[in-house]
Structure 1
Amino acid sequence: MDDLLGPNEVKVLHDALASAAPGVKWGGVLATRARLEPLSLRGRTDAVASVLVDALGTYPAAATAFRSALEDPTFTGWALWPVTEAAVTLALADGGTPAFDDALALLAELTPRLTSEFAIRRLLQADHERALDIIRTWTAHPNEHVRRLASEGTRPYLPWAVRVPLLLATSGATLPILDALHNDESEYVRRSVANHANDLARHAPELVLTAAARWQQTGTPGAAWVVRRSLRTLVKKGHPVALELMGFTPAEVGITELRAETAALQLPGVLAFDFVVTNTGDAPARLSVDYAVHYVKANGSTAEKVFKLTTVSLEPGESRPLRGRHGFRQMTTRRHYAGAHALEVQVNGVRHGRLEFELVL
């Protein structure tokens, strides 16, 4: 990921800006290429953005240069992340309402070249009410990238991005954006809406459930997909209302023959497991079948995470063998530790059975 913004990208950025604003001293941009190697993608972005701020000095100069550069098709890609950050830094340093509002407009113009979702967060931090008043108007924008920015840029827990506490404290403030876009013609936009709603469900589940029920009534395939994706975490948590909205009602089931191929798994590796699910009730049952992995933490305790397996419909007395595979490897988002792990099957929010296995590093 770090190499997404490398020396070549910085050179292309320099050339586009030098052509767009020849009166600006852009030499510092080229000089950053020698400092990129040990830095993360975020660090590289900050380094280039800092040079852009120094070179331009004021927000009006930045807005003029960046808008002129948009006429160049090479002015695109990950090199635009520092561009958006520099624009916001200078707009906030300006301190005026015109600069604040124009910075939002500029981010909307830049976002089709590379998403402005990260830079927009600092404008939301500075004045989330004013920013949201403008962002809400983007839901009717003809460009799908701008409509997506309205949803993605205001997500409560946007990955890689700074938190905006007031977005968490005023959960309903972004709901008009989701209402306007949940049935958008673009899957790209609808996916953002679903991820945003799934974020909201972490701290405002009732708000999301009410919205999902409203969206579901439209009956369109796009809305149905958004509802399903929006409620995925609540379904995994076994929330009864979320399960009911998805058509999963309480059911009588039995889980038998739960077993894993191995009792000890070497990292990296894949745990293969299987079991039989049976509808022990006297009515047909639609079942959301998930599984929970209990991971060992650094301090020896465990923490669980639920994963989707499948959906099945069973007649009374019917059984179905199911099989799953779960990979274990070190990742930046999850560090594995040796020790006794466990796996449980979850059906319509209810846990069944438990198998234990040893993870060996």
Structure 2
Amino acid sequence: MADKLKDTLFPLEKVQLFGTVLKDVYPPFQSEEFVAAVCDKDWPERELKEKMRHTTLCLHQFLPHNFGKAVQILIAIVPKVSGFEAIVLPDYVEVYGQEHWYIALPALGELTKCGSSEFGIRPFLNKDLEGAMKYMLAWAGSDDFRVRRFASEGCRPRLPWASGVPALKKDPSLILPILEKLKDDPEEFVQKSVANNLNDISKDHPELVLDICERWQGKSENTDWIIKHACRTLLKQGNKRAMLLFGFANPELMKVEDFQLSNTAPAIGDDISFHFKLAIDTKQKQKVRIEYIVHFVKASGKTSPKVFQIKEVEMKPGVHTISKKHTFKNMSTRKHYPGQHTFEIVINGAIKASAKLQLN
């Protein structure tokens, strides 16, 4: 995906447009020289983040070296840029704003309106966590949903592709007032960030997140959506408290029978199917979460489990036949290796049946 993004987000015409926009706002800007510096002989081979940082360094050559003046120019072009240009602007503040705290932090709050400042804020969080989090808390009350989303996204303990903030991973207490402010936000963009933040926290502090979700449950439709999405990792792990929170029935009342794989010796690239019978021994409908786990063989020869959801549904008492297709085609996110793979059927967090196949 990064290979595609580096080409789609950073084509020559976007660099040229960036230079034109900067010159419109700041006439002394040498746009042609800037484009030549950015699109050097190594440009096509640079990866996504390398292109972003290279552009930032080139930009610094042609902007005023007074950080405050440079930031004023960058803020002025916010309404005119998106995509490639937008992700460079917070990076400029990250690189050159470390010694200009009271200019840099407000600037990130403005620049996030065209391209999220979630990566740019991370070094500031590591430098002065409490100081930076005061800005984050204030941004959570913004009228602009992009700024509110940044307030949550920027302090995620496990933000993908971002530098880590170990203090937040160890103790997320400074994050919680921000999430409280945003727990009933009307914007889906913000809701997803709050849920992802809580999901990050749940990986290190599951009981804390469950305490929050139990307290928030039923407050509104928005909040209920957030807590369900926030608990996705806990549900995949079969956490009993999470299962109870969302009303999933006791798995001891259910049995899996006649679990069969259509092919026990497929080749890489093949599709298989499997089916089983789910027996529900109750008098009333039950809320059921049906998943399966595949223990994939890795390049090292060891196995690693991955959970796949089949469905969540209310089911009547009795016996139900469940069928599912699974592919062993290689993907950008998963490469397959030969060896013994184990399939497990999971009902409301409990493993109920297993079968093995030999992938060739």
TM-score > 0.5, shorter chain as reference: yes
CA shift in 2, pair 1:107/1:239, >3 Å: same
Select the residue among 23, 34, 46 that pairs with 2:28: 23
CA shift in 2, pair 1:267/1:22, >3 Å: farther
1:245 matched residue in structure 2: 245
Aligned Cα root-mean-square deviation (Å): 1.8
Distance 1:319 1:78 in 2: 54
Select the residue among 26, 37, 46 that pairs with 1:39: 46
User: How far is the alpha carbon of 1:351 from its aligned partner?
Assistant: 0.1
Q: Which amino acid aligns with 1:2?
A: K
CA shift in 2, pair 1:270/1:119, >3 Å: farther
Map residues 128-147 of structure 1 onto 2, 5 A cutoff.
128-147=129-148
Contact 2:37 2:58 in 1 (8 A): no
User: How far is the alpha carbon of 1:312 from its aligned partner?
Assistant: 2.9
Map residues 72-91 of structure 1 onto 2, 5 A cutoff.
73=80, 75-91=81-97
Distance 1:235 1:151 in 2: 22
1:231 matched residue in structure 2: 231
Gaps of 5+ in 1: none
Give the match's secondary structure for 2:191. helix
Give the match's secondary structure for 1:265. coil
User: How far is the alpha carbon of 1:134 from its aligned partner?
Assistant: 0.6
Q: Deviations over 1:96-122 (max 9, x none)?
A: xxx323322222212221222122222
Q: Deviations over 1:142-180 (max 9, x none)?
A: 111111111111111111211111111221211111111
User: How far is the alpha carbon of 1:284 from its aligned partner?
Assistant: 4.2
2:11 matched residue in structure 1: 6
Distance 2:60 2:37 in 1: 14
Q: Deviations over 1:317-338 (max 9, x none)?
A: x121112233334445433222
Q: Deviations over 1:119-143 (max 9, x none)?
A: 2222222222111111111111111
Distance 1:206 1:76 in 2: 40
Distance 1:244 1:300 in 2: 37
Map residues 1-361 of structure 1 onto 2, 5 A cutoff.
1-3=5-7, 4-26=9-31, 27-34=33-40, 35-56=42-63, 57-71=65-79, 73=80, 75-92=81-98, 95=99, 99-218=100-219, 220-251=220-251, 252-281=253-282, 284-316=285-317, 318-360=318-360
Q: Which amino acid aligns with 2:43?
A: L
Identity of aligned residues (%): 30
Contact 1:2 1:40 in 2 (8 A): yes
Distance 1:174 1:18 in 2: 40
CA shift in 2, pair 1:359/1:112, >3 Å: farther
Superposition misfits of 4+ residues, deviation over 6 angstroms: none
Distance 1:83 1:36 in 2: 19
Q: Deviations over 1:162-201 (max 9, x none)?
A: 1111111221211111111121101111011111111111
Give the match's secondary structure for 2:44. coil
Contact 2:297 2:303 in 1 (8 A): yes
Gaps of 5+ in 2: none
- TM-score normalised to structure 1 length: 0.91
